[in-house]
Amino acid sequence: MTDKVIRIFKIINAIQSNPGITASALAIRCDVNIRTVYRDLEIISHFAPVTNEGRGTGYKFLGKFFLYPLDFSEQEALAFSLLPSFLNQDKIPPGFHTAYDKVMGTHLKEKSKQNGILENIADIIQMGKPAYRKKSRNFLQPIIGAILEQRSIRAIYHSQSRNALTQREIDPYYLIPRDQRFYLIGYCHLKQAIRTFRISRFQEVEVTDRSFDKGNFNIKKYLKNTWSIDRGNKNIKFRVRFHPEIARYIKEEELFVHPWMSDENDGSLLFEVTVNNEKEFTKWILQYGPNAEILEPASAREGLKVQLEQWMRLYQK
């Protein structure tokens, strides 16, 4: 058993150092017959992307395995860390313990580097906090880590619409920035559906050991015609005319829904877009005041007129 473990390490190092090395060359290096090498390569293929492109082409690792050969999962790292306790200490050959320490040291160094990068990201991205809270924890680091490693999170979430706390298990798919806030889109096991979560509403976040697969989920398809973050269930086509003074700024807007735009002779901008949430789009239009005029649909134009009349009555008191 011990000899096999050491031999597998030798084969991994040989392939990394000599991509394209043949099975016969590996057999010579490890002082075994070629059938043993083939059996060892079969074992290696279960945890490393080793491949050859045909007879006589030799073996190499795919992707970035060469750079990060010890990117263990937590379960794999635990299993490997227990290896010495299963070996007969009297039969362990010289050099095994130093080689083992190098392997574990490399793994821990890579994990530490990754965690350091995530900590820096979380520090660089500054988030606001709800006005009613004196303190608000920043859960960006564990959530980003969970997304990258495709691991589920266990969380306590505050639902503002029901003013209630719920415990949820979520498969985190994407982190979406919108209107100075961050939202998490993922599969909620409690609701058994894709849901959108506002990051600042998380009370607790714990990354679990359970992995997940996004399957055929497509974020662009999911957010199609969604102006900001809240998805509606009815597509509405808007036509808006923007005043010449702000036309060039509208063209500079970083939008997630692709509009059709046309310059008018007087310098104004005709803007057409289809969205699935009228309320979100109208809210965006309002920030431009009289410099933006809704032309279509008539129902949205009339709705905005009623809202402005309500505002007028409020400020006439």
What is the structure's pLDDT at 68? 45
203, 164 contact by CB (below 8 A):
no
pLDDT single digits (tens) 181-206: 889 999 999 999 999 999 888 999 99
The domain spans of the chain are 1-66, 72-110, 137-221, 234-314
User: Residue 32 and residue 72: Cα distance in Å, rounded?
Assistant: 28
Closest C-alpha among 288, 283, 276 to residue 250: 288
User: Residue 146 and residue 198: Cα distance in Å, rounded?
Assistant: 16
What is the structure's pLDDT at 240? 95
Residue numbers of the chain with a pLDDT score lower than 70: 1-2, 17, 47, 53-57, 63-136
Return the biggest CA–CA distance within the chain. Answer: 95
User: Residue 69 and residue 107: Cα distance in Å, rounded?
Assistant: 9
294, 300 contact by CB (below 8 A):
yes
260, 315 contact by CB (below 8 A):
no
Contact residues for 275 (Cβ-Cβ < 8 A; gap 6+): 225, 226, 227, 232, 235, 236, 238, 257, 281
What is the structure's pLDDT at 134? 59
Q: Give the domain 234-314 fold.
A: Alpha-Beta Plaits (3.30.70)
pLDDT single digits (tens) 77-108: 655 555 665 566 666 666 666 666 666 556 55
* In the block, residue with structure tokens 């979430």: 157
What is the structure's pLDDT at 316? 83
pTM score = 0.56
What is the structure's pLDDT at 128? 61
Cα–Cα separations (whole angstroms), residue 203 to 79, 147, 158, 168, 206: 33, 18, 7, 11, 10
What is the structure's pLDDT at 42? 84
CATH number of 137-221: 2.30.30.530
Domains 1-66 and 234-314 share a fold: no
The 10 Å Cβ neighbour count of residue 199 is: 19
Does domain 1-66 fall under CATH 1.10.10.10? My reply is yes
What is the structure's pLDDT at 186? 93
User: Cα 248–251–236 angle (5° rounding)?
Assistant: 130
What is the structure's pLDDT at 139? 80
User: Residue 151 and residue 170: Cα distance in Å, rounded?
Assistant: 9
Outline where the chain has alpha helix (H). Answer: 2-17, 23-30, 34-44, 74-81, 83-86, 96-124, 140-149, 219-222, 244-252, 278-286, 298-315
What is the structure's pLDDT at 67? 41
What is the structure's pLDDT at 55? 61
Cα–Cα separations (whole angstroms), residue 37 to 19, 49, 126, 211: 16, 16, 52, 32
